[in-house]
Chains A and B, each alone.
Chain A
Amino acid sequence: MMFFYATLLIGIAGLITLLRLILGPSVPDRVVALDTMNTLVVAAMVLLGAAYERAIYIDIAIVYALLSYVGTLIIAKYLQGGLS
């Protein structure tokens, strides 16, 4: 039961981060907010895997962490001038 409450509070943190993603005055601000949200989603996924006692959710968290890293690197490469 404790894991559900912790997931709920991490979801609230994700909503606060989503506010910065929408409001963000510049593009790098939005990228920082997206990177933070990816980490929060990984934390919520691991906690949900423990709450429902399904190990497959944690595998999804591993794949999500690696793919979000690749996405962040590609966006940063695009920001600093071209994907060449």
Chain B
Amino acid sequence: MIADYLIMAFLGISVVFNLLGSIALHRFPDVYTRLHGATKCTTFGTMFAVFAVIVHSVVRLKETGNPKYLQMAIHSFVAMFALLMTNPVGAHAIAKAAHLSGYMPKRAVVDAYMKRREENEC
């Protein structure tokens, strides 16, 4: 009974953060701020989707004793771990590639990466 409410709460957090991440792509002005909004929100939302699946499969494992549910919990944890390790690295690669290929941040006051690049070239 408590597990049902826990699953509902986790799924609600997951859906809200995924929707916010996709709306952030439309509300922010340039590439870097869009990356900031989308990457963090969708990673957090997917984490909570996996938590909901883990709670559901642990409850079903206790009810039925079928080892399929243990496999489901462990594999969804592995999926979350892979996403958690690879998503920030991909976001950094996109940001660096956008800066190197000439898309500058709009309305930026300080661009420390540009300063570092100029110092290295001179």
Which residues of A are interface residues toward B (Cβ below 8 A)? Answer: 2-3, 5-6, 9-10, 12-14, 16-17, 19-20, 26-29, 31-33, 35-36, 39-40, 42-43, 46-47, 49-50, 53, 55, 58-59, 61-62, 65-66, 69, 72-73, 75-77, 79-81
Contact = CB atoms under 8 A, between A and B. Distances in A.
Interface string B55-78: 011001000000010011001101
B103 A43 contact: no
Interface of B: 7-8, 11, 14-15, 18-19, 21-23, 25-26, 31, 34-35, 38-39, 42-43, 45-46, 49-50, 52-53, 56-57, 60, 68, 71-72, 75-76, 78-79, 82-83, 86-87, 89-91, 93-94, 96-98, 100-101, 103
Q: Which 3 pairs from chain A and chain B are nearest by CB? A: A28-B98, A76-B93, A69-B86
A36 to B, nearest CB: 4
A2 B49 CA distance: 12
Contacts of A28: 31, 94, 97-98, 101, 103
B32 to A, nearest CB: 9
B25 A73 contact: no
A16 B23 contact: yes
B23 to A, nearest CB: 7
Nearest to B71: A55
SS of A interface (majority): helix
B19 A32 contact: no
30 contacts: A2-B8, A3-B53, A9-B15, A17-B22, A28-B97, A28-B101, A32-B39, A35-B91, A36-B21, A36-B22, A39-B39, A39-B42, A40-B18, A40-B46, A43-B14, A43-B45, A46-B46, A47-B53, A53-B60, A53-B72, A55-B71, A55-B75, A59-B75, A62-B75, A65-B79, A65-B82, A72-B90, A73-B93, A75-B97, A76-B97
